[in-house]
Chain A
Amino acid sequence: MAIVSRSEAQRRADEIRTFQRELQTLERDAVVSLTAEQREAIAGHHRRLLSELADAFDIDRDGHAKQLSLGMRIASFLGALALGASVFFLFYQFWGLFSTPVQVAILLAGALGSFGATVWVRSRDGSGYFAKLAALVAFACFVLDIMMLGSIFNITPSDKAFTVWAAYGFLLAYSCDLRLLLVAAILCVVSFVAARTGTVCGLYWLDFGQRPENFFPAAAILFAVPQLVRHERFPEFPAVYRICALLTLFLPMIVLGNWGEISYLDLDRKLIEVLYQVLGFAGTTAFIWLGVRRQWPHVVNTSITLFVVLLYTKFYDWWWEAMPKYLFFLVIALTALLFLVVLRRLRGAAAGGARP
């Protein structure tokens, strides 16, 4: 079997179920008619395949199992967050009672032990929920390890810490098929690239957040990753990269569109705000178009959301004080209707383009 990840196995199982439902519909409408042997051969093949996938990856075989899986994912996520916080506060509560060598030994043992537990759980947990929980705790332990070593030895803060956290986050995210850790690793990359951009521009690295333009190079890198690295084993990861890239690009633009004085540009504050508002509207529109063209629904949805945030922020600035409230909200409602019309046209155009 060439399938190696749970998400890939789940997608294959979903395709089989969709095929079975469609075959039933086609036979009922007398479009095709299979012989008993053919039907049995297909059904047997699917049964065997589903059984193998279920044994190997603990996939959801039907809709009911899928609903329960969602609950398990939420429980796993909350459990991991709580366990990570618990590890941190456990150390915080008792670390002062130990000598420095013991503190270092505990931190190192915590990082290595939680990683060993992740590897062990991953090899035994077909569902992946417990492995994901363990991976998140392992990541928290490593972050705690480096932070506390910095604190114990009074090490000057360095942006290089983001690189090792990012590397560890990527390692765990790709080995456990875990999007939450991928986001954590991406945040570390964004912080590192933004800090380096700020340093090149003459800032002290910890102040990189004070110039939102520092985030733009990181956005470009994130958007390029799924174009350059193939993710056929991790079909959900490219969307995470692109959504993070869009947020990294347009959230700073929204900030600059409202507070131009924190830009690098040596221009009048108002001019900078108008410039970034125009760039924001033009950029989100361009990404909506690109998302429709490339059939990236996540890009379309994120860009629309950012466009709406940009638009409503400006509406608020322009009209909240000047307009009666009923009129203000009427304008918002009319804008939403206009969006619906435009998107319906886009959808129609995309469907027309996809037709042979």
Chain B
Amino acid sequence: MRAMRRDALAAWGVALLVATNAVVLGGAAYNRGGEPDATLALTERETQLPYPWGFESENSGLSLRLHVRTLEALPTHGAIRIYDLGGYAYGNPQWLDRKKLTELGFDLSTPANDPSGMRRYQKQLPKPAFLVLEMEGEAYRASLKRVEDYAARESTPQAARALEDERSKNGRLFAVDAGLDAEALRAKYADRKRFAIVHGKVWLRDWSDGIGGYVEAVGTTLNVPLRFHGAVGKPQRYDGDKPRKYEVSVAFGRRLEPWMAAAAAR
């Protein structure tokens, strides 16, 4: 291989830099061009500011992470406990059953109750899929109903606090479905003000109640442009700091990549 001359080096280098930046910026422009695929109105309940620790304390930029919940499958035996009602991001969604997992490409053909079958299940790593996110819809109402029923049944301070949190503090953005065809999902979930489709991945997991899984939305950390910094505020430095209340309009483009279209303090 020959050493490169100055002119050739300059030409190749500039071409590579300009072409790469053009492709990246062109892709971003394409994503944001035309009508968004979906636009959701979110608040501080559905978005999280980063905690300013370590290097993050020197970061002058601001980003919000979408806080996606799932309506978990309740335990099939024993009493329902308060932590079964949280709907945490990595819980076992009740809609992610064997049929759905098979549709998403997982091989569940062998029985899980023998060592080789179980090994095959454990070896299956996460698969890419499109996730459907629903804002303040049936999934949130079902979650609220669960907590209301629990609070009515238990009548403890913890149950009352859980109900208050579910009504006014917990996020209302739920992952409600997954699939391999974004257009088919959009046809099924047509309301673009309520349902957004995002890139994600699906994990197979052997829960105590049987084979299930969990989902993770990918690329849902939103950069906050400078013009919205005032509305969103700064990350909480201490747990005692009062979080700022805000509303953000999040648009999802043609490549399903989100961006912050508007923001206002509440």
Give the interface of A toward B (CB within 8 A): 4-5, 89, 92-100, 104, 108, 111-112, 115-116, 118-119, 122-123, 142, 145-146, 149-157, 164, 167-168, 171-172, 174-175, 177, 202-207, 210-211, 229-234, 261, 264, 266, 268-269
Overall SS of chain A's interface = helix
**How far, in angstroms, from A79 to B186 measured CA to CA in the complex?**
52
- Mark out the residues of chain B between 75 and 133 whose CB falls within 8 Å of any chain A CB in the assembled complex: 105, 116, 119-120, 122-123, 125-128
**How far, in angstroms, from A94 to B61 measured CA to CA in the complex?**
8
**How far, in angstroms, from A148 to B80 measured CA to CA in the complex?**
45
Partner of A93, one of B13, B60, B199, B218: B60
Selected A-B contacts with CB under 8 Å, 27 pairs: A92-B61, A93-B58, A94-B60, A98-B226, A108-B17, A108-B21, A112-B18, A116-B10, A119-B6, A122-B9, A123-B6, A146-B24, A153-B31, A153-B223, A154-B223, A155-B27, A155-B28, A168-B16, A168-B17, A174-B1, A202-B105, A204-B127, A206-B218, A229-B1, A233-B3, A261-B122, A268-B119
A4 touches B13 (CB 8 A): no
Partner of B59, one of A92, A175, A264: A92
B16 touches A155 (CB 8 A): no
One of B45-53, B164-172, B253-261 at the interface: B253-261
Task: List, in ascending order, chain B residues with CB within 8 A of A98's CB.
Answer: 226
Given A96-B226, A119-B13, A156 and B255 contact (CB-CB distance below 8 Å): yes
Residues of B in contact with A, size category: 35 or more
Given A168-B16, A202-B127, A266-B120, A175 and B4 contact (CB-CB distance below 8 Å): yes
A104 touches B25 (CB 8 A): yes
B106 CB to nearest chain A CB (Å) = 9
Partner of B12, one of A93, A171, A205: A171
A149 touches B60 (CB 8 A): no
B17 touches A115 (CB 8 A): yes
B25 touches A156 (CB 8 A): no
B128 touches A95 (CB 8 A): no
From A99, A111, A116, residue with most partner B Cβ within 10 Å: A111
- Given A154-B223, A156-B199, A177-B3, 17 new contacts (CB under 8 A): A92-B61, A96-B60, A100-B225, A111-B17, A115-B14, A116-B10, A119-B6, A151-B61, A153-B257, A154-B257, A155-B257, A171-B13, A171-B16, A202-B127, A204-B128, A207-B201, A232-B1
**How far, in angstroms, from A97 to B220 measured CA to CA in the complex?**
22
B4 touches A174 (CB 8 A): yes
Give the interface of B toward A (CB within 8 A): 1-4, 6, 9-10, 12-14, 16-18, 20-21, 24-25, 27-28, 31, 55, 58-63, 105, 116, 119-120, 122-123, 125-128, 199, 201, 218-223, 225-227, 229, 255-259
A154 touches B120 (CB 8 A): no
Task: List, in ascending order, chain B residues with CB within 8 A of A205's CB.
Answer: 128
Partner of A233, one of B2, B58, B223, B258: B2
Instruction: Output the nearest chain A residue to B105 by Cβ-Cβ distance.
Output: A202
Report, nearest first, the 3 A-B pairs whose CB atoms are least far apart: A96-B60, A96-B61, A153-B28
Task: List, in ascending order, chain A residues with CB within 8 A of B128's CB.
Answer: 204-205
